[in-house]
Amino acid sequence: MNSGTTIFAQLMDFLPFTTFQRCVARYRGDYKLKSFSCWDQYLCMAFAQLTYRESLRDIEACLRAQQPKLYHLGIRGKVSRNTLAHANEERDWRIYADFAQVLIKRARSLYLQEQFGVTLDQTVYALDATTIDLCLALFPWATFKQQKAGVKLHTLLDLRGNIPTVVTITDASVHEATVLEQLAFEAGAFYLMDRAYLDYASLYRLHLAGAFFVTRAKKNSRFRRLHSRPVDRATGVFCDQVVALHHHRPRKYYPAHLRRISYYDAATEHRLVFLTNNFTLPPLLIAQLYRCRWQVELFFKWIKQHLRIKKFFGTTENALKTQIWIAISVYVLVAIVKKELQLDDASLYRILQILSVTLFEKTPIFAALSSSNYNPLMDHDPKQLILFD
């Protein structure tokens, strides 16, 4: 890597520029633009993510302070607060959503053999949603309660590498289960979901697609036991049953049999009841699989702590979605860099922290991110959430 190039420029070299330009052309993002292209916009927003900028004025001040270096960073247009605000509001957010999907596909191929805590050959996804609260006065279009505003981030996370494969941004009032209707299920894959996704019609469609689900039963769920399997209660498994839905209405939506597993978690002292359409895996492995669903919760907490999606640089729906998708693409980009540079001992948190203070330095990126003075114990701060250990 050229030691005369800034680390930010070296990092952006991992991005497929030609593919980005195709995404821009698809939505005519640069139509009639004389300066400050969509690529300039992306680089400024990526800089904001990597250096934890808090506002457009903050971005403008920091980049103008490095004015002689902007050309070498790849930024050709003049950076100003008004220009960036206008770009976020007017340029189609789907440009950055499509580009993020390209990076996601590349990252998934790199983490194909990554372990996630359970020995299983199939792909395992965790599906969940989180609400991002917004100021009602600034985001009146996102009203979902009388005095509250917000959007909901629905994410399907591939547990091999914790890569978000499907991300949908909706009004906060949209129920989680409705996202199931939009998913194309992968045959043979496992989908881990909490009780909010217990929609029998969608689960039966998943079942017919040849995929498997693991979810929890609701307290008011009623089943008709067909037969029980022997279990070892010393493992925490209380029962392993083949059941059918008891009431006629839910049975109309899910006419097939289900597997009901009752498990006692000694760590939390809770008794959990799991439902699945997989009848071959051991019951304890089903319980361990569901525990892996917590990775999607950690993903949400992680990006809220370390990427700029809690403070938005614009108040329109387009600006908000643009910022979220660029944040996701930066997250995936750093995951790609970690794998391609073989930084196995470095966590994603550490990589981002180093990048935040070295972007303008002219040193090989591998040397900067793989310092021999690094102590792995420094990353195990219990107050931090580390995804890529």
Residue 305: inside a domain: no
The closest alpha carbon to 233, from 261, 259, 268, 258, belongs to 261
- The verdict on 21 and 78 lying in the same domain is yes
Q: What is the pLDDT of residue 79?
A: 85
Alpha-carbon span 236 to 253, nearest angstrom? 31
- Residue numbers of the domain that contains 371: 7-96+314-379
Kindly give the pairing relationship between strand 148-158 and strand 143-145: antiparallel
- Dihedral in degrees, nearest 10, Cα atoms 206, 207, 208, 210: 90
Alpha-carbon span 270 to 256, nearest angstrom? 28
Max Cα distance, the chain (Å): 74
Residue 198: inside a domain: yes
Q: What is the pLDDT of residue 309?
A: 62
The closest alpha carbon to 123, from 109, 131, 112, 133, belongs to 112
Q: What is the pLDDT of residue 372?
A: 44
Residue 265: inside a domain: yes
List phi, psi (to 5°) of 93: -65, -20
Alpha-carbon span 242 to 227, nearest angstrom? 6
- The verdict on 350 and 277 lying in the same domain is no
Distances (CA, A) of 190 to 224, 286, 376: 25, 10, 32
Q: What is the pLDDT of residue 64?
A: 87
Q: What is the pLDDT of residue 11?
A: 94
Residue 17: inside a domain: yes
Tokens representing 295 are: 């990775």
List phi, psi (to 5°) of 324: -65, -45
The closest alpha carbon to 48, from 380, 347, 352, belongs to 352
Q: What is the DSSP letter of 253?
A: H
The closest alpha carbon to 190, from 154, 158, 218, belongs to 158
- The verdict on 199 and 283 lying in the same domain is yes
Tokens representing 61 are: 């001040």
Residue 146: inside a domain: no
Last residue of a domain, one of 242, 259, 291: 291
Residue 301: inside a domain: no
Q: What is the pLDDT of residue 384?
A: 41
Q: What is the pLDDT of residue 214?
A: 96
- The enclosing H or E element of 284 equals helix 283-291
Q: What predicted TM-score, i.e. pTM, was given to this entire model?
A: 0.86
- The verdict on 267 and 231 lying in the same domain is yes
Helix/strand/coil for 228: strand
Q: What is the pLDDT of residue 379?
A: 45
> Which amino acid is present at 193?
M
Could you identify the residue written with the tokens 């930066």? 330
Last residue of a domain, one of 291, 306, 337: 291
Residue 40: inside a domain: yes
pLDDT averaged per 10 residues, the chain (length 389): 76 95 93 86 92 88 84 79 92 96 95 85 92 85 83 92 91 89 93 92 95 92 91 90 90 94 87 94 92 88 70 88 93 94 87 90 89 46 40
- Please count the structural domains in the chain: 2
